[in-house]
Copies of this chain bind each other. A is one copy, B any other.
Amino acid sequence: MYVAVDAMGTDNHPVADVAGAILAAREFKLGIILVGDETRIRQELSKSADAKSLDIRIVHTEETITMNDKPSQVGKGKPQSSMHIGMNLVKSGEAVGFVTAGNTGAAHAIAMLYTLKRIENVKRPALSVIFPIYDRPVTIIDAGANADSKPEWLAQFALMGSIYANKVLDIAQPRVGLLSNGEEEGKGNQLILQAKTLIQQLPVNYIGNIEPKDIMDGKVDVIVGDGFIGNILIKTFEATSRYLASLIRSEIVANPLSAVGGLLVKPAMARVQRRMDPAEIGGAPLLGVDGVVIISHGSSDANAIKNAIRQAAKAAEGNLIATIRDGLKQDVLAPLDEIKST
């Protein structure tokens, strides 16, 4: 079982990417195919004493996608990129999944239009980010792939997110909620109100509108929204955490006594930081494309890449793609078409 890893993905590529691949190969006894500039990959591999004993192969590519590349252009413009080649390894069956920490928009476009394509009946693939809330994984879908979405897409996101939470995150009956500006039944914008009628027709454990506080209170497993609101939600969570941590630091050092206390609580604060750390999750699956694709933060370190690789392997072992294909069969989705045509 091989997982293909984009060696040219992170901001610090190929250093973190290769180091993460080594960790994963060693710890999970997985086969890895590193995709990217062979010379630079070999250089990184040579830094690790046991790399030769691990099951790591290299597929050389000439082109690299950068963060400044436009998603609409690289699909056609850089057909030999590590993303194209890596995804095609999944398509051909040589790898069970692909992990990249590169340009999210580019990965979305290349997967959907040029390599893996969509699973049958899927309207739009969606990025699903996993949040650790009190150490429980909470899935947000869509986390940024589709800034403008239709109600029907959101209904499909609910279905795909629910399948993912069940198959990969081991949650028995994932509670699915629509992100809204109030818990009450009538709250929401038009998109949310229309999506609600559709989701209620689908085989998911739909619990209604949820607000940000419900996420933190552990009331929901899968949060559904368009890619714009999902992205703002995640970024506000991250920015607020950093802001609050900085306020706390500045107030603690402002006084000698609390500065002493600050030293004593330092390990506790470090534990909090670790519990909030997205690296422990590793990456966001791009759900709805016909193959396992996990997208990591550009700032990922080796540990984050390692965990993303584990996620890819777990998705493959859990038959995620086949389950999504089954879950989005025409008869399941039929009620949505009926509503739309009335």
A residues engaging B (CB < 8 A)? 70, 133-134, 144, 147-148, 179, 181-182, 186-190, 192, 211-213, 215-216, 226-229, 231-233, 235-245, 247-248, 251-252, 254-255, 257-258, 260-269, 271-272, 275-276
Nearest-Cβ distance from residue A308 to partner chain B, whole angstroms: 22
User: What secondary structure prevails in chain A residues at the interface with B?
Assistant: helix
Asked if B268 and A255 make an inter-chain contact with CB atoms under 8 angstroms apart, the answer reads yes
The complex places the Cα of A24 from the Cα of B216 at a distance, in Å, of 36
Q: Are B265 and A238 in contact (CB under 8 A)?
A: no
Q: Report chain B residues within 8 Å CB of A276.
A: 244, 247
Q: List 15 A-B contacts (CB under 8 A).
A: A134-B247, A182-B231, A189-B226, A189-B228, A212-B235, A212-B239, A237-B240, A248-B269, A251-B268, A251-B271, A255-B267, A260-B261, A261-B268, A264-B264, A265-B265
Complex Cα distance, B237 from A216, in Å, reads: 11
A189-B226, A239-B215, A240-B241 known; A232+B268 contact, CB < 8 A: no
Pairwise interchain contact A181-B244, C-beta atoms closer than 8 A: no
How far apart sit A257 and B148, CA to CA, in the bound complex (Å)?
A: 50
Which residues of B lie under 8 Å from residue A216 when comparing CB positions?
239-240, 242-243
Which chain B residues lie closer than 8 Å to A133 at the CB level? 243
For A272, list chain B residues within 8 Å (CB): 244, 247-248, 251
A142 CB to nearest chain B CB (Å): 11
Contact of A244 among B187, B241, B261 (CB under 8 A): B241
Interchain CB contact under 8 A, A181 and B232: yes
- Check A240–B236 contact: CB distance below 8 A: yes
Expressed in whole angstroms, the minimum distance between the Cβ of A214 and any Cβ of chain B is 8
Question: In chain B, what residue has the closest Cβ to A257?
Answer: B264
Q: How far is the CA of A3 from the CA of B227 in the complex (A)?
A: 43
A181:B265 contact, CB within 8 angstroms: no
CB distance from A264 to the nearest CB of B (A): 3
A38 CB, min distance to chain B CBs, angstroms? 32
A-B contacts besides A212-B240, A244-B272, A255-B268, 16 pairs, CB < 8 Å: A70-B186, A147-B181, A179-B232, A211-B239, A236-B236, A236-B240, A237-B240, A247-B272, A247-B275, A248-B272, A251-B268, A251-B275, A258-B267, A260-B261, A261-B264, A261-B268
> How far in angstroms is the closest Cβ of chain B from A147?
4
